[in-house]
Amino acid sequence: MFLKKVALVSALAVISGSAVSACEISARVSIVGNEFPAIQTVGAGAQECTGAEVSTNLTKDHQSINVPGMQGNPAEYTSAIIANSSIVALMNEDVIRPLDDLVAKYGGELQSSQLIKIGGNIMAVAFMANAQHLMYRKDILDKIGVEPPKTYEDMLAAAKMIRDQGIMENPIGGAYASGWNLAQEFNNMFLGYGGSHFKDGSAEPNVNSAAGINALNMMKSLSGYMNPDFLTHDSNATNAEYRAGNIALLNMWGSRAASQTTAEGVTDAVKNGHAIAGPMTVGGGSTPASTLWWDGWTVAKNISDDEAEATFIAMMNAIRPAKMNDESIRTQAVWLIDGYTPTNAAIGVFEAAKMATTPYPMLPYMGLMHSSLGGELADFMQGKESAEQALADVEAAYTAAAKEKGFLN
C-alpha cells in the first residue's frame, strides 16, 4: 500500500537489483547534502569508489550552498542530494542536467517509477521516503493517563497536563528555526487546515486566508509549550532536546526516528520511553498536517561528461541493494532500495502515506513561496504583528520575487 501510494504521488519506488558490481571511476565526484545519518550513509557509499577523489560536504546549511555551489563553471559540486522542495531551486537556476543518457547506460536495473521526471526528462533518482510525524515519550503520556495525540488539539491538551503536573515546563518540541524550518512547519499546518498555497491554475499567492491564519494561530499556541528559544531550534537542536529528556512531544522527520534512541548522549529514560505514531490532523480535518517527501540525488550541468558519468556511477554504488544487509543502515530510513524490509522506525512514514498525506508541492515557484514564508513569519511568532499582517507580508515578498522570475506579470 505504501509503495503504491508514494509511486503515485512522488515517483517513489524500490530500486531493483545490484546497482554497480564494481565502483571504479576516472573523474572527480563532489557531493553536497544534508547531514542526517541516512545521507551520511549515501555519501560514504559513494566514497567507496576508487580511481578518483570523492568528496562530500554534508551540512545543515546545504540548502543555502547547493545552488551557488553548482552555478560555477565548472561547478564546485557534481551532485546535490535533494528532496521535493530543494530540486525546484536547482531547476529554476538551470544547474542540473537530465539523466536520461546516464540512466540508459548505467541504470538498467532502476525501475521507471523511481525516476523523478520533470518536463519529460529524468532529473533525479530517489532513494528514500520521508515525512514529519509524531514522536513521543510513552512513559510520560502513561504517567498523565492519556493516549498518544492524534490531533494538534490533543497535543496542546497533553502538554498542558504535563506542565501542570510539574513533569516538564516545555514539553513540546518543534523545528521552528526562522527560515526554511519555520516555513515548513507552516506548510504542514496550512495543508492540514485545507489550505492551498496558490490560486487554482496560477502562481497567484493564496496563503493570506482563513487556513493561513488558523495555521499561524495554532503554531503560536504550540510555541507556548516550547523552549523560549524555539526560533533558533532546527531539527538537530530539537532532537537534542528530546534525547536529553527535556521534551515529550514533537513533530519530527521520519528519517530521524531510529537515531532518537541510538545517538550519542540519549538518556536511558528516552531509550525506554521513545515511541512513534503517524502525523496528526488539526482543526477537525482529516488531511494530516504534514507533507510526503522523497529524497534523491542529481548531477550538475556545469561539469564535464566524464565527471557526470563518474558521479552517476558513484551515487549508484551508494544505493546498491547490498547496503540493506547492514542492520545499522537499514534502520536509518524508509529506504527505496531492493532488499529493504520495514523496521519499527518506519511506522510514522508508512502511516503518513496510508493517511493520504499531501506531497510537498513540486511547483517551479514553490521555492519562492517557501523562502517568503521563512523570511516573514518570525515577527508574528514573536508577537510583533498580527497573523493577517504576517501573511500579507509573505504574499508581498512572494509576488515581488515571482515577478522578478517571470512567474507573475
Other C-beta atoms closer than 10 Å to the C-beta of 183 total 22
What are the extents of the domains in the chain?
2-129+293-346
Residue type, 133: H
Q: What is the pLDDT of residues 177-232, one digit of tens each?
A: 999 999 999 999 999 999 999 999 999 999 999 999 999 999 999 999 999 999 99
Cα–Cα distance measured from residue 109 to residue 322, given in angstroms and rounded to the nearest whole number:
14
Judge whether residue 326 has pLDDT over 90. Answer: yes
The model's confidence at residue 16, banded by pLDDT at 50, 70 and 90, is very low
C-alpha neighbours within 13 Å on the C-beta side of residue 347: 11
CATH superfamily label, 2-129+293-346: Periplasmic binding protein-like II (3.40.190.10)
Judge whether residue 144 has pLDDT over 50. Answer: yes
Handedness of CA 219, 222, 224, 225 (dihedral sign): negative
Which residues, 6 or more positions from 287, have their beta carbon under 8 angstroms from its beta carbon?
191, 192, 194, 281, 356, 357, 358
Nearest alpha-carbon partner for 355 in 404, 299, 405, 286: 286
Q: Which residue has the higher pLDDT, 399 or 367?
A: 399
